[in-house]
Structure 1
Amino acid sequence: MNRLTTAWAELDLARFPEDSRDTLRAWDAADEYLLRHLDGIDDAAPVDLSGAVVVVGDRWGALVTALAARNPEQGSEQGSDSGLVQITDSFLAQQATRANLVRNGLGADAVRLLSTQDPPPERIDVLLIRVPKSLALLEDQLHRLAPGVHEDTVVIGTGMVTEIHTSTLKLFERIIGPTRTSLAVRKARLVFCSPDPGLARVPSPWPRTYALPADVGPFAGLTVTNHAGVFSAERLDIGTRFLLEHLPQRRGPQRVVDLGCGNGVVGTAAAMANPEAGLTFVDESYQAVASAEATFRANAGSRTAAAEFLVRDGLSGVPAATVDLVLNNPPFHTHQATTDATAWRMFADSRAALRPGGELWVIGNRHLGYHLKLRRLFGTCEVAASNPKFVVLRAVKR
């Protein structure tokens, strides 16, 4: 846990799940720059935050926690379009926000929490955007939010200089209105956008679909749906392709989990290979789970009752010793930080969820050394398949 100092409060903030060994903060210089600007810097007047304030992409809830502390009387006003609203694609960000609000004595209902799949507020007076890594996600969210923006809406984006590009600014200009940027401060920059009510906007191009190529065997032609921001939006990535070529051959009424499901292509392929299997698709991204459900529905026909779709932190909520097979392509970064913490939690969750004799199959880059972690957790790990870039690992719960 670290302390964020603002002009109006000192806040204890942490990421989620909280880990005392984690040295990464729940905010960065871009968040601090935006908060200073809102309070008035360089002789500028503070931004009026008395109306409907929407914060998009707040990574660990630092921004909305600080704003809730600045205007504690504003509240979330649940069920209305006024008050303070957070919109995020991340279940972990929502959980971090709830924990940080309570930690600082603000109450979990001080902010209305929405996902990127929820209908956005109909009126927005202040729109604050933490620029995401995915340009596609930014494009999709700007399209969704634009109808609620009016000519007097204050629109400000923030990000590190490495996250804000010419293409970023062009999106703001094309969907919202004229855009300019601030000077860089501590490698962070602000984006100021003036809404243009007369701007002609085209519909959002998201979600997108594509068909799997002919060289993936029995899964050729499978229709894949990707909502904005989900990995492998345009075509099948080479890691997933390699896993599809080496999926475990299972038969019978087994429970299979696609953990970190992304667009759901792996779990859908497993369902098609074993029609008697029950599938669980899990991801911490709302966009990903929506993509997985669309992919499954488009290809599994009458099997729709045999699948569930969960936005979760790993396998939390899945009963212990109830799963026969977990398929996993773990991420090795969170935002800009490279870390194996997520993979480690996924492996540990999988071991707890698996029945004795159940198996975890993992696809990963060879250099990541996942076999070492799996051997520590499971006591065994074997290479099911490998090529110069990727390795498919199999760990069995004894």
Structure 2
Amino acid sequence: MNTEFSVLDTTLNLVRYPSEHQHKSLQAWDSADELLIEYMAEAAPVQASAPLLILNDDFGALGCWFAGHSEAAVHWYSDSWIGHRSLAVNLQANQMPVTFSDDYLVDAPVKAHSILHTLPPTPDTVVIKIPRTQALLEAQLQALSRMITPQTRIIAAAKVKMVTKSVLGLFEKYLGITTTSLAKKKSRLIFCEPQQPARSLHTQTAPTMIWEQKSSNGKSMQVHNLANVFSRQSLDIGARLMLEHMHVTNHEQVIDLGCGNGILGLNALALAPEANITFVDESFMALESARMNVAHNFPDAQDNCRFVASNCLEQLLGQGQQNQYDKVLCNPPFHQQNAITDHIAWQMFHDSRDALRRGGHLIVVANRHLEYHIKLKRLFGGVKVLASNRKFVILSSAKR
């Protein structure tokens, strides 16, 4: 893996967390980061002590740069627990002393926040990496419209293919006059001049997507989805197949791994109201959606549920929770940001084996073409097909 990010007169050592599981072809920055840093350093330096907001910095490249090259008060926002961990290890790798808040987010030399945290008012400069999910960008721009002033500088960056008419239209809608730079190394900058009339029209809270879903035993559930939740507009077809073939009993210890809006854990509660469900995801918005859904649909089961931000099951295993769980339910992702990868699923399977008690089961739903049965057989010594259709398969492996 290329870990040396050289820009202007500086070389930073940067990795994607956790570096030991990453494919050697991946790196922790892209040409959009480089283009943005060069522009900010040469044409738009940040004033000392002025509030600087950084949104959606995937693996901490921008956070590390501004921590070392600016005296601004840097506020760093990400929905990704892996992004937060990447920021921490990359600051430390570049000899920047790091302190942490009580929730184990970086507190200095930059102040890191969950994306759910309120933005500080009247920032001097806002730097945005365009996120993969356009609904997240819209929610962020709407929130910014209530905080910025006409003097706020807003500079965004992305690969050219992500700078679409719809993206530029969102900046125009919520913030003001929007222009772009010429493309360089397949990336482009977006510049926005805030206008008071545009800001005054958008004071409402960003909408939560809500839809109805029946559990596998017929209970009607209302499913709430914040902006950055996978398949926020409807139930994805892999999860639909899983619901049809799920079996959970009361008092089982169950993990919904990569929970998203929590639909698998919700169905488990519908089947077994006294089961103990641990919802795990690396997205803070996903966990908050799952928390909302338990509170709305199963208020009496809230004490039996936990919501854990983690890279796979790293946090649980780090707390000594090996060999404790009866089932892990998993609909694993096969991408990270814009990169197609199977390393996340591979780590999920490894961690699940460690977390399960002997005789416990990992239940996976996945696209058939990913051939996860090969990995599961290698890890667990065996795998069983519980159900399948033309596109998806449900696999079960027991810990021996």
Match in the other structure for 1:362: 364
The equivalent of 1:296 in structure 2 is: 294
Deviations 1:214-268, CA, capped at 9 Å, x for gaps: xx64245311010002111111111111110111x23231100000000001101
What is the deviation of 1:29?
A: 0.6
Q: Is 1:270–2:272 an aligned residue pair?
A: no
List aligned pairs for 1:1-398, cutoff 5 A: 2-19=3-20, 22-40=24-42, 45-50=43-48, 51-71=50-70, 73-74=71-72, 83-108=73-98, 109-199=108-198, 200-202=200-202, 203-212=204-213, 217-219=216-218, 221-247=220-246, 249-318=247-316, 319-398=321-400
**CA 1:21–1:188 in structure 2 vs 1: closer, same or farther (change >3 Å)?**
closer
Runs of 4+ in 1 over 4 A off after TM superposition: none
Is the Cα contact below 8 Å between 2:260 and 2:287 reproduced in 1? yes
Distance, in Å, in 2 between the alignment partners of 1:135 and 1:231 is 12
**Cα-to-partner distance string for 1:254-303 (whole Å, 9 max, x where unaligned):** 10000000000110110110112100000000010001111111111311
The equivalent residue for 1:79 is none
Where 2:150 maps in the other structure, the secondary structure is strand
Secondary structure class of the residue paired with 1:178 = strand
* 2:219–2:270 Cα contact (<8 Å) kept: no
Query: What letter matches 2:354 in structure 1?
Result: A
Q: Which residue number corresponds to residue 78 of structure 1?
A: none
How far off is 1:8 after superposition? 4.1
**1:23-82 deviation digits (Å, cap 9, x = unpaired):** 311000111010111112xxxx343343110000000000110111112x44xxxxxxxx
2:104 corresponds in structure 1 to none
Residue-by-residue CA offset, 1:127-158 (whole Å, 9 max, x unaligned): 00000111100011111222221111110110
Deviation at 1:164, TM superposition (A): 1.4
| Contact 2:178-2:192 at 8 Å conserved across structures | yes
* Secondary structure at the counterpart of residue 148 of structure 1: coil
Instruction: Output the CA distance in 2 between the equivalents of 1:278 and 1:217.
Output: 18
3-state secondary structure, aligned to 2:176 = coil
Q: Deviations over 1:329-354 (max 9, x none)?
A: 00001111111000000000000000
Number of equivalences: 382
Q: Which amino acid aligns with 2:390?
A: P
Partners of 1:103 and 1:2 in 2: CA distance = 11
Indicate if the aligned counterparts of 2:46 and 2:52 stay in contact, CA closer than 8 A. no
Q: 1:372 to 1:49 in 2, by over 3 A?
A: farther
Q: Does the 8 Å CA contact 1:8/1:70 hold for their aligned counterparts?
A: no
Q: Contact 2:252–2:326 (CA<8 Å) still a contact in 1?
A: yes
CA distance in 1 between counterparts of 2:143 and 2:190 reads 19
Aligned to 2:105: none
Report if the CA contact (8 A) 1:9-1:69 is conserved.
no
Q: Which runs of 5 or more residues in structure 2 are unaligned?
A: 99-107
8 A Cα contact 1:219 1:269, kept in partner: no
Is this contact kept in 2: 1:328–1:360, CA < 8 A?
Answer: yes
Q: Identity over the aligned pairs, expressed in percent?
A: 37
- Asked if the contact 2:178/2:193 (under 8 Å) is kept, the reply is yes
Which SS does the other structure have where 1:304 is aligned?
helix
In structure 2, what is the Cα distance between the partners aligned to 1:99 and 1:22?
Answer: 18
Amino acid at match of 2:241: F
Offset of residue 206 of structure 1: 2.4
* 1:90/1:286 contact within 8 Å kept: yes
8 Å CA contact 1:151, 1:194 repeated in 2: yes
Q: Which residue identity lines up with residue 268 of structure 2 in the other structure?
A: A
The answer on whether the counterparts of 1:9 and 1:70 sit within 8 Å (CA) in structure 2 is no
Distance 1:59 1:219, change over 3 A: farther
1:139-182, Cα deviation, whole Å (9 max, x unpaired): 11111222221111110110001111101011111111110111
Q: CA deviation at 1:21?
A: 5.1
Superposed CA offset, 1:110-134 (max 9, x none): 1100111111112211000000111
Partner Cα distance (2:26, 2:170) in 1: 30
Mapped to 1, the partners of 2:201 and 2:359 lie a distance apart of 55
TM-score, scaled to structure 1: 0.93
Contact 1:14 1:26 in 2 (8 A): yes
